[in-house]
Amino acid sequence: MKPLPTRIAAGEAPHAPSAPVLDVRGLQVALPVDADRPHAIERLDVRIEAGRTLCIVGESGSGKSVLATTVMALLAKGLTITAGDIALAGEPLLSSGRYLPEKRLRALRGQVMGMVFQEPMTALNPVLACGEQVDELLRNHTTLTPAERKARILQVFERVRLPDPQRIFSSYPHQLSGGQRQRIVIAMAIILKPRLLICDEPTTALDVTTQAEILKLIAELQQEQGSAVLFITHDMGVVAEIADEVMVMHRGKVVEQGPREQVLRTPCEDYTRMLLATVPGMVPPPPRALPGGPALLAGRAVGKTYVRRDWLGRARPNTALKEASVAVHRGETVGVVGESGSGKSTFARCMIRLIDPSEGTITWGDREVQSLSESRLRPLRSRVQVVFQDPNRSLNPRRTVGSSMIEGAVNFGLDVPAARKLAEELMDRIQLPRAALSRYPHQFSGGQRQRLAIARAVACQPQVLVADEAVSALDVSVQAQILDLLREVQRDFGLGILFITHDLRVAAQLCDRVIVMNQGRIVEEGPTAEVFGQPAHAYTRKLLAAAPRTELGVAA
């Protein structure tokens, strides 16, 4: 990915600082009284001029997203603004702790400021078609005719690289992949070309090629409209590509701030250096010695075809997966990479029988399972356990984490005392206090919940863990902790791991072998060092070329 073009024309003198699009002064947001610290944000100043990008980085809980929702006047309940002022394009948005009237705020949202949320399923209405949700925005803020609105929506869908925009227009959120849903949210945020674009982890669910296109699209929006961008991310590669300035936050305070080159190359603070040190590299480590033996999880010529019917009842087959094969052995990590919609998650779900394959053979150890009914499959499910991208899908919000962890172990043969003892030992392993077994999922941070989801899966004593984007939503330091935990449990329990990811840096560091998928087919596979070092297929070369590759070495 090439660096973004300069925003000053050749031979033109830099302009004097103009009035900022966003001007935040002395912002302070208080947390509830039972929180771990008094303030979510403490005396924060932010200034972003037209055409400039400020990237904010920091660990989970640093206050990054609180700043974004405060600017959008969408502050969560329980948080209180105790000081500060916010001006948007010269208009006072927040003054003396009070926002503008709600009617004016609604007019500003979309037209003057837009936001891309991290989790698209919380931003999209599950009962409305995607096109209808974007159309609602245009109806409220423009005087375009229905035909003009649809034409503009389809044009934006094409710009964010959504396949078959006509089909996406009439599809519901649950019918799309995670990356496709995120692109819908991005389309909604940019369609009115706002002066301020707030992006809260907008590329977390996107593959590297789509990420490159989205970053290019944001750069074009800046050049066309002079938009200012507040970009929250944990991807230091993205920061190195797009930032004009970088702000590092920790526990609600600004630790370091300055031009991109200064912060990334010669950081002043230990905390910044720690964040940079946790960024995984693109060069795989030397190959490991593996135990070998028979495959614990294997698939041969696995395929999946979905059949949709139109309003006349005519069948519309859609082949999502075709002739895919894989084998995972004891102690081995096999990565599956590819763009959003490439079929990698469909492949994983077929392998663990969350969906039924249309063709092929799937074995768990010595048992073929592709045609087993759920009643016959249930006793075997302890062999293969899954860790999802969102740990809330693995943990029941109405049960304590202890009861969730114990439940799985009991279902597969342990008595309750033995299951509780195992749960306590796993809490030690994931570095959480045993007393936390009595807490509920919402009482933990995102990284802690993901560790608990891994512990719950391991409590079932599986042979194979299937991790579907298990670290993509985590900041770099927490991501490093989760990857270390996966290596540790693999080493101690001899687990095989099938690791689904769009993050090539993570795949490079964790996986022994890599499978590359495109349009439902496997186009290349082999040892990670060979695939990354000498890719044989043009599509693999395209993926590797699109990954942010700026080295983030810290000067001595």
Question: Is 230 inside a domain boundary?
Answer: yes
pLDDT of 18 = 63
Single out the residue of 294, 269, 299 nearest to residue 362, CA to CA.
299
Torsions phi, psi for 43 (to 5 deg): 50, 65
Torsion of CA 56, 24, 110, 216, to 10 degrees: -30
How far is the C-alpha of 189 from the C-alpha of 168, rounded, in Å?
17
pLDDT of 7 = 37
Question: Is 272 inside a domain boundary?
Answer: yes
Question: Is 226 inside a domain boundary?
Answer: yes
> Residue 519's domain is classified under what CATH number?
3.40.50.300
CA 32 to chain centre: 28
Q: Are residues 260 and 377 in the same domain?
A: no
Single out the residue of 352, 347, 349, 378 nearest to residue 364, CA to CA.
352
Q: What is the rounded end-to-end Cα distance, in angstroms, of the chain?
A: 27
Question: Is 14 inside a domain boundary?
Answer: no
Question: Is 491 inside a domain boundary?
Answer: yes
pLDDT one-digit tens code per residue, 3-28: 443 333 333 334 445 679 999 999 99
Q: Are residues 344 and 256 in the same domain?
A: no
| Six-digit token string for 475 | 């900041």
| Six-digit token string for 196 | 């301020």
| Six-digit token string for 419 | 């299951």
Strands 333-338 and 496-500: parallel
Contacts of 67-72 spanning 24+ positions with Cβ under 8 A: 67/24, 67/27, 67/41, 67/230, 67/232, 68/115, 68/198, 68/200, 68/230, 68/232, 70/27, 70/29, 70/41, 70/94, 71/22, 71/24, 71/113, 71/196, 71/198, 71/230, 72/109, 72/113, 72/115, 72/198
Q: Are residues 345 and 260 in the same domain?
A: no
Question: Is 13 inside a domain boundary?
Answer: no
C-alpha separations of 364 from 301, 343, 450 in Å = 15, 21, 25
Q: Are residues 221 and 334 in the same domain?
A: no
Q: Are residues 132 and 181 in the same domain?
A: yes
pLDDT one-digit tens code per residue, 398-455: 899 999 989 888 888 889 999 999 999 989 888 888 988 998 888 887 778 888 888 8
Low-confidence ranges of the chain (pLDDT < 50): 1-16, 550, 552-556
Instruction: Give the CB-side neighbour count of residue 48, counting CA atoms within 13 A.
Output: 31
| Six-digit token string for 111 | 């037209």
Question: Is 552 inside a domain boundary?
Answer: no
pLDDT of 299 = 96
Q: Are residues 143 and 92 in the same domain?
A: yes
Q: Are residues 507 and 471 in the same domain?
A: yes
Residue type at 75 in one-letter notation: L
Question: Is 551 inside a domain boundary?
Answer: no
How far is the C-alpha of 399 from the C-alpha of 440, rounded, in Å?
6
pLDDT of 205 = 65
| Six-digit token string for 24 | 């935040």
How far is the C-alpha of 153 from the C-alpha of 131, rounded, in Å?
7
| Six-digit token string for 210 | 């789509």
Strand residues in 196-294 grouped as ranges (E) = 196-200, 228-232, 245-250, 253-259
Domain that residue 339 falls in: 295-308+315-546
The structural domain count of the chain equals 2
Q: Are residues 387 and 519 in the same domain?
A: yes
Q: Are residues 451 and 303 in the same domain?
A: yes
Q: Are residues 250 and 337 in the same domain?
A: no
Torsion of CA 343, 347, 349, 352, to 10 degrees: -170
Torsion of CA 364, 366, 371, 377, to 10 degrees: -60
Q: Are residues 236 and 330 in the same domain?
A: no
Helices (H), 112-145: 120-123, 130-141
pLDDT of 312 = 76
Q: Are residues 262 and 406 in the same domain?
A: no
